[in-house]
Structure 1
Amino acid sequence: NGEVSAIGIASPGPLDPHTGTILATPNIPEWQNFPLAPNLSKHFNVQVYLDNDANLAGLAEWKFGAGKGHSNLVYLTISTGIGGGVIVHDRLLQGFRGLGGELGHMIIDPEGPPCGCGKNGHVESFCSGPAIARYVNERIRAGETSTLQPDVNLSAAQVADAARAGDSLAISAFARAGYYLGISVANFLAIFDPSILIFGGGVSQVGDLLFKPFEESLRKHTFHPHYLDNLTIAKAALGDDAGLLGALALARLKMGAQ
């Protein structure tokens, strides 16, 4: 009948989906501990549901995209940061506090480089776009030769262009990221045992530069080869619409619709 019965919201975290509260927003400090869903619910007089944007992108890929038909799924977006969404037995993993699925902040080397969150050695510290560019800058300043110049504004896309042109440092930067991504995903397989891995985000678009070393590392570090049997590795299908469609899926699931 055209009436709005519920609203779904995909937001950067950390947040509490159980209360609809934004816990921290580095780019909007005024919204720290802000009860976004309750305020919108009061304003619009409908139920409002809130969750992490990466969680909801994973939910969307499961419901509408590359993961459709799979009951156990791990979604990973690799971009300026790294986010994840996990489906276990057809349910979005949220955890006791609603903070589950923060795959980009799994520690893979506590002595590793700093993460944007302030901790060290996270998946994001090694495999995100800024991490790849930072590594190249560090190696050039340490004396390695490259067609690239040290630049605080260097992007992973520029590193990818140099790698495709044969720059050995740029190639090694993606090989390093792929190596650590393989270690990370080997951990995810041991914890979640998915039937499909879905990769989204701009950095994932570089293709073999990242994924050939990733696959080698994944085979090397996976606890048992049986985890890899019939495992599908796929590109995300929904692009920039994933968060929006995930918010829709969240609201519909909460309201009991299919």
Structure 2
Amino acid sequence: MTMKGLYVGIDLGGTKIAGALVDRDGSILRRIRLETRVEQGPQAVIDRLVESIDQLMDGVRSTVKGVGVASPGPLDSRSGVVFSPPNLPGWVNVPLRQALEDRLGIPVKLENDANAAAWGEYRFGAGQRKGTMIYLTVSTGVGSGLVLDGRLFRGENTFAGEIGHTIVDPEGPPCGCGRQGCLEALASGTAIAKLGQTADPSSSIHSLAAEDGGVVRAEHVFQAYRMGDAHAENIIRQTVRYLAIGLSNLIHIFNPGKIVVGGGVSRAGDVLFPLLQEQLDRYLMAPFRETCEVVPAALGEDAGVLGAAALWTDCGQQVVAGEPA
């Protein structure tokens, strides 16, 4: 094991803490996965984080240059404070970075989990250091991160990148954020599942769900689509249309070289990506067509830990193709 320039990356999820000891090249040298125990409150979670990081650094602590933590937002990455994430109940203005630094005696950086995953894909995954890249995770919700001209873009208050809460249909369904017609309310896995639940009783969506626990999920809708189910086709085409509207707006605003799509819905890539490209061509102005690749994410669950670790290696500077890390 190399002993030079090691970093710890932590992805703090709602139920699991995923961690890794990572070298500068993005090689994972050790892994750890623990229950978050979020129901016990912030202090219990911080204790688990410290336990995870200590285990990862065992025997190499002196060579670890920093710890990066990817956390659900909203949060302020500059002050290191986590505000009130929906999947971390009881967390209100928790100074997570300071709490960890006090316990570990090692510098810590805190980042929104979608931003960290975006940085991981940009540095080590499907982003391939394309100068401007947008990462989109389509799962229970819709999260995103922006890498503009080789830099992770956070915005004035570090809130940038809430693509899931851009409005694509003002008359659309209510969103968990309190507004209506957001991309997340119309194109997330949750949105697909809700439409599947209301599909005609004759649809194979319901029979597939009945064979798999009885609860309709997005994967049942995609499976029914592959079987030629007309109701599922209508749902998927409607969903992809809204996703294409959202992505076309991003392409017109940021002119990215790549949009990397991750999350559970992206696993239906054989269905999703051809339909998405077809719809995008409808909504893009002619000069923008064929300027942006829309590709599946490459790192899977490792995107967050690798991106969190890479916050220490080069996130503060521009990183573009051909430049050393």
Q: Partners in 1 of 2:173 and 2:198 — Cα distance? A: 11
Alignment of 1:110-121 (within 5 A): 110-121=170-181
Alignment of 1:131-170 (within 5 A): 131-140=191-200, 145-149=202-206, 153-170=215-232
1:38 maps to 2:98: yes
Q: Secondary structure at the match of 2:143?
A: strand
8 Å Cα contact 2:196/2:218 also seen in 1: no
Contact residue 178 and residue 212 of structure 1 kept, 8 A: no
Tell me what 1:58 maps to: 118
Match of 2:163 among 100, 103, 124: 103
**Corresponding position of 1:17:** 77
Q: Deviations over 1:118-150 (max 9, x none)?
A: 32111111111110011122343xxx6412339
Other-structure match for 2:311: 250
1:26 counterpart = 2:86 = yes
CA distance in 1, matches of 2:252, 2:149: 16
The one of 275, 289, 295 aligned to 1:234 = 295
**1:195 and 1:230 in contact (8 A); partners too:** yes
User: What SS is found at the alignment partner of 1:175?
Assistant: helix
Q: Distance in 2 between matches of 1:228 and 1:9?
A: 37
Query: Aligned with 2:301: secondary structure?
Result: helix
Task: From the two aligned structures, give the one with the greater helix fraction.
Answer: 1
Shift, 1:254, TM fit = 5.5
- Paired residues for 1:74-223 under 5 Å: 74-140=134-200, 145-149=202-206, 153-222=215-284
Q: What is the DSSP-based 3-state SS (H/G/I as helix, E as strand, rest coil) of the residue aligned with 1:252?
A: coil
State the alpha-carbon separation in 1 of the partners of residues 204 and 315 from structure 2. Answer: 52
**1:166-222 deviations in whole A, cap 9, x for unaligned?**
111111111111111110000001111101111111111212432333222211112
Under a length normalisation based on structure 1, what TM-score does the superposition of the two structures give?
Answer: 0.91
Q: After TM superposition, give the deviation of residue 116 of structure 1 in Å.
A: 2.7
Task: Choose 22-31 or 83-92, whichever is displaced more.
Answer: 22-31
Unaligned regions of 5+ residues in structure 1, if any? Answer: none
Question: C-alpha offsets along residues 46-66 of structure 1, whole Å, 9 cap, x if unaligned?
Answer: 221111111111111111111
The structure in which a higher percent of residues are strand is 2
Asked if the contact 1:177/1:210 (under 8 Å) is kept, the reply is no
Using the TM superposition, name which of 149-158 and 22-31 deviates more.
149-158
Q: 1:94, 1:100 within 8 Å by CA — same for their partners in 2?
A: yes
CA distance in 1, matches of 2:264, 2:204: 22
Identity %: 40
Aligned equivalent of 2:38:
none
- Residue aligned with 2:311, SS: helix
C-alpha contact 1:6 1:255 (8 A) present in aligned 2: no
C-alpha contact 1:171 1:209 (8 A) present in aligned 2: no
**How far is 1:255 from its partner?**
7.8
Take 1:85 and 1:164, find their aligned partners in 2: how far apart are those partners?
31
User: Where in structure 2 are there 5+ consecutive unaligned residues?
Assistant: 4-59, 318-323
Find the structure with the greater CA-based Rg: 2
Report the aligned-residue RMSD. Answer: 2.0
Task: Give the count of matched residue pairs.
Answer: 254
1:73 aligns with 2:133: yes
After TM superposition, which residue ranges in structure 1, 4 or more long, deviate above 3 angstroms? 254-258
For 1:148 and 1:101, the matched residues in 2 are separated by: 33
Return the alpha-carbon distance in structure 2 between the equivalents of residues 254 and 165 of structure 1.
Answer: 45
